[in-house]
Amino acid sequence: MVRIRNLHFGYSRKRPLFQNLDLTLERGHIYGLLGKNGAGKSTLLKNIVGLAFPQAGTCEVLGQPAAKRLPAVLADLFFLPEEVHVPTVTAAKFVAHTAGFYPKFDHDALAHYLSEFEVPAEAVLTSLSYGQQKKFMIAFALAANTSLLVMDEPTNGLDIPSKAQFRKLLASSLTDERCLIISTHQVRDLESLIDTVLVVHDRRIVLNADLGELAERLTFATVAEPDGLDLYTEESLRGAQVIRPNRNGVPGRVDLELLFNALVGQAPALTQYLANNQPTHEPAL
Ligand SMILES: Nc1ncnc2c1ncn2[C@@H]1O[C@H](COP(=O)(O)OP(=O)(O)OP(=O)(O)O)[C@@H](O)[C@H]1O
């Protein structure tokens, strides 16, 4: 679905944002893209959807260079940016004018998503609150039914019940044919939703791993005393939060926040452990 090889990109030549970045994304998955502020999450998504062009290397989507923005590819991908801008027309008019660009657009699904999100379908879009506008665009994006759906910070601006609705609708819209990529800072919004976690850091992808496999290989715990064999330790008010090898193989909950802190901080033992025990999707570490 997405195949990036040796990507080099920077807004200025002096400060490269990505160097030798490799990434492969497959159908049938919901990917969560994490990274610190300024790490390049939005820029990576823009390269994928053909809004930013590689300076070297390749970025292919649906078998074509994303930068070519071929009509057949654009009809099968949808990009929802972090800031949505809607025109001063009713939802019905917006759909009448734009749904035609997406051959697999599902009007019944749109009606269902709008009703679940409690967005009034007859309203002029600019008269809606920002959260309602965002929910309208999320509903439209899901209903477009494209093979690739890329969402940049989709839960920003959503209230707490809407975030739960968002997770439910997104999970129900995943099929074996679709690939969903979501970037976020709100790690907890993603925890129960994504199946694969991507971390961009230091100009490359430092993790591309199946959450189920991580749960089988790692244990996340809060303990009174860390032991010397822990892969990562972080002091907290409740005690030491640790990441350990999962010694009994029984999968537990993956603490994405702790894992993220470890990967963007100094956790050579964890990095080494993940690199040596290969079954993650890519040899990214
Ligand atoms: N159009 C642009 N022109 C020049 N620099 C840019 C442009 N867009 C982004 N940048 C810079 O590129 C870097 C990465 O930005 P990007 O928005 O991709 O990061 P991000 O990981 O999505 O950040 P955040 O978590 O804060 O949203 C930042 O240093 C940013 O200032």
- Residue 56 within a domain: no
Domain boundary among 201, 233, 257: 201
- Residue 58 within a domain: no
Co-location of 186 and 213 in the same domain:
no
- Residue 243 within a domain: yes
Q: What is the ipTM of this complex?
A: 0.97
In whole angstroms, how large is the CA radius of gyration of the chain? 20
Q: Coil, helix or strand for 141? A: helix
Check residue 230 and report its DSSP letter. -
Co-location of 153 and 219 in the same domain:
no
Measure the CA–CA gap between 34 and 39, rounded to whole angstroms. 9
Co-location of 89 and 168 in the same domain:
yes
Domain boundary among 201, 235, 265: 201
Domain boundary among 201, 232, 255: 201
Co-location of 197 and 217 in the same domain:
no
- Chain centroid to Cα 107, Å, comes to 25
Tell which one of 7, 9, 14, 17 to mutate to probe ligand 1, the residue whose CB is within 8 A of the most ligand atoms. Answer: 17
* CA 178 to ligand 1 centroid distance, Å: 27
Question: What is the model's pTM?
Answer: 0.92
Q: Domain containing 182 — which CATH number?
A: 3.40.50.300
Instruction: Please list every protein residue whose CB sits less than 6 Å from any atom of ligand 1.
Output: 11, 17, 35, 37-43, 185
Q: Which domain holds residue 248?
A: 208-276
Co-location of 139 and 212 in the same domain:
no
Domain tally, the chain: 2
Co-location of 196 and 217 in the same domain:
no
Residue found under tokens 């590819």? 73
Measure the CA–CA gap between 260 and 111, rounded to whole angstroms. 37
What is the side-by-side strand order in the sheet with 232-236?
218-223, 239-245, 232-236
Local confidence pLDDT in tens for the 285 residues of the chain: 999 999 999 999 889 999 999 999 999 999 999 999 999 999 999 999 999 999 999 999 999 999 999 999 999 999 999 999 999 999 999 999 999 999 999 999 999 999 999 998 889 999 999 999 999 999 999 999 999 999 999 999 999 999 999 999 999 999 999 999 999 888 888 888 999 999 999 999 999 999 999 999 999 999 988 887 899 999 888 889 999 999 888 999 999 999 999 999 988 889 889 988 654 444 444
Co-location of 93 and 169 in the same domain:
yes
Q: Which atom of ligand 1 is nearest to the CA of 46?
A: 18
